[in-house]
Amino acid sequence: MLVDDAGGCGGDMEKDFDSNASLQNPNNPPVQRSKSFAFRAPQEQFTIQDFQLGKIYGVGSYSKVVRARKKDTGIVYALKIMDKKFITKENKTSLVKLERVVLDQLDHPGIVRLCFTFQDTYSLYMALESCEGGELFDQITRKGHLTEDEARFYAAEVVDALEYIHDIGLIHRDIKPENLLLTAEGHIKIADFGSVKPTKDSQVSFLPTLPSDEKACTFVGTAAYVPPEVLNSSPATFGNDLWALGCTLYQMLSGSSPFKDASEWLIFQKIIARDLIFPDYFSEEAKDLIDKLLHTDPSKRPGAGPDGYAALKMHPFFNGVDWENIRAQSPPKLALETGESDGHDSGWNQSHDGNSGGTSSSEVSGPIPRLASIDSFDSRWQQFLDPGECVVMISTLKKVQKLTNRKVQLILTDKPKLICVDPAKMMLKGNTIGFDNPNDLSIVVSSPSHFKINTPKKVMSFEDAKQRAWQWKEAIEGLQKR
């Protein structure tokens, strides 16, 4: 929540923020905040012109995170820029406030620190500690997979930070390699608290009141790391994060997530069925820990049971870890991208797929039991679907043309149908493309990130920064064969 010490911000947008969500603990009567209350991370009077902007670390439906160097001090931050108009229109005010309040009160070396906030007419800004080592996801990608010693080090640092988060009554709800950042030295810091959920015993003070629809059992997170109980509409628990930890450890050791598939719908099927296969080179200790973290009963996952985190830390996989001095240990050597410099970027590069930090928007139905209604920041794409129509795959891509490359949102549905949307104008680009057999449409993959969709009337070329061209082909052809 971006407010000054007196509780107001000035201007219509800020007044709207304060009127939409009062500061209070959900279990207590409304609390009148003292005029002397001050956030640890202050609200400054900076402007965006005070910063030299570099590459984009990630893009969401109402925000982007940009590398930003403060011109007068030379200090580099990860600057989260949030669109005021969209936040108000989509009723996300209380979620932004919640993230701001939570980040301000978290104090742990394994969690990204909020440094200060500021705002202007159009945007809210949160300046976060910059993690110059990049994402753990990139280390896994560059190395193919991590050694067991490397995975043990990173997993232990995540456990250390998660224990702190859970002890103060918070559920992160989006643990994944993309949200585990690395310092320049190579230590883990958990980032992105946009999906955080306080428990009834939360020690965080001045919590905003969430709208009733945000209290429901809704799917928040990234498809490949979502636990089965969330898909079946159970309330969020600490076990949700431990399931995601198990998925992340599997990905560290193998190079891919345990429930990977061509579409979210197929991923959900694998999660519900617990379709889990371990590579032969996994140690018995690693397989046992992952197997226990991916238990279908969240209360039986190590760290969530009556023995708490002691049971998790005592697992044989973590033998040799000095839990008392974990942040003093030497981290694994970071693998740099070919041609990578010190991070001084001259341009703006979108990383990953721009779907609200990886959240999903599809409502799932089919041969498996009907899953919980999925409600996330990407619900805006539902306006382009027919009643009962389900999303199979969705991503922000570049549409490659002769003179210009334009960002589009490509949506594959179960009709089957392809929908191309201009995400800036929220308008359809051309006609939707229906298809039932290969004669209607074919897809040609030229590289992991480039593919063409051929129809009798035109050819469309796309670039997927997440390198999922083959997944698009498999998903489309799978619908044609139904």
Please list the active-site residues: 174
Tokens 């779907």 sit on residue: 355
Checking DSSP bridges between strand 134-135 and strand 114-119, what pairing results, if any?
unpaired
Residue 109: asked if its preceding bond is cis (omega within 30°), the reply is no
The helix (H) or strand (E) run that includes residue 422 is strand 417-422
Q: And the tokens for 97?
A: 């406030």
What CA–CA distance (Å, rounded) separates 240 from 225? 9
Residue 384 identity: F
Rounded CA-CA distance 215/209 in Å is 10
180-182: strand order across its sheet: 134-135, 180-182, 188-190
Phi then psi dihedrals of residue 298, to 5 deg:
-60, -30
| Nearest alpha-carbon partner for 450 in 476, 473, 481, 432 | 473
Q: In degrees rounded to 5, what are phi and psi of residue 403?
A: -100, -35
Of 57, 47, 35, which is closest to residue 112 (Cα–Cα)? 57
Alpha-helix residue ranges (DSSP H) falling in 175-334: 212-215, 228-231, 238-254, 264-273, 284-293, 309-313
